[in-house]
Structure 1
């Protein structure tokens, strides 16, 4: 029953965007050091916003499924010798931060949607 509450296209789009952003941010960390991380993690608000825009009924379900699908392959890819790995604990910390910023993006879209609905109700009545 809960499977009908969200769109699989939203999960796939959010998951692929999350994976691409994760690889891009991790590559910038390996090349430029910690200075790029501060701005790079804010980019993770985009997949969260996308999840909230594609699923009005269950944005966090879409977001969590996308993160659960994308994080293990990204984590496994980062452990390869071609990428500079900073350790499993640091990788999990980055994933946790990415999930936080994704959730923040979804919450921002949900807040904007709620404020628009309140404004529309007040202007009608």
Structure 2
């Protein structure tokens, strides 16, 4: 029954990563306006990693990471051929590598919250006894 869950996490990360990437690059929900400063919009890539890690039964970091890595070539192709490319290929590649990093960070954030909640639950159960 749960054998499809790694694929669900991988596919959801692929889909959400693509949506966030194209939304950021097309300017639909871009946060920063200046070109030469840090981009806080990269923090939105935590969301696909977090959700994909939740949907994966095992390999909770590997599935979001692979989903993001599989989405990068598609995002770069769409960005290059259908959207107006504003930056060079190397800048787009650096942005996508940063996005993959934040996606994996979202998966690790989910694992951290999960472990923290389990520890609090065990502590609460010990205090009740």
TM over 0.5: same fold? yes
Q: Which runs of 5+ in 2 are unaligned?
A: none
* Deviation per residue, 1:22-65 (Å, 9 max, x gap): 01111127xx5538962321110000101111124211111122
The structure in which a higher percent of residues are helix is 1
Task: Give 5+ residue unaligned stretches, structure 1.
Answer: none
CA drift of 1:73 comes to 1.0
* Pairwise CA RMSD: 2.2
The reply to whether residue 49 of structure 1 matches residue 50 of structure 2 is: yes
Correspondence for 2:109: 108
Structure 2 vs 1, CA of residues 120 and 36 (structure 1 numbering), >3 Å: closer, same or farther? same
Kept after mapping to 1: 8 A contact 2:50/2:103: yes
Q: TM-score normalised to the size of structure 2? A: 0.81
CA contact (8 A) 2:45 2:102 kept: yes
Alpha-carbon distance in structure 2 between the residues aligned to 1:42 and 1:56 = 24
Any conservation in 2 of the 1:6–1:58 contact (CA below 8 Å)?
no
Length, aligned pairs only: 120
TM-score by length of 1: 0.83
Contact 1:78 1:85 in 2 (8 A): no
Q: Is the 8 A contact 1:22 1:74 kept in 2?
A: yes
Query: Residues 11 and 85 of structure 1: is their aligned pair in 2 closer, same or farther, counting only changes over 3 Å?
Result: same
Match of 2:86 in 1: 85
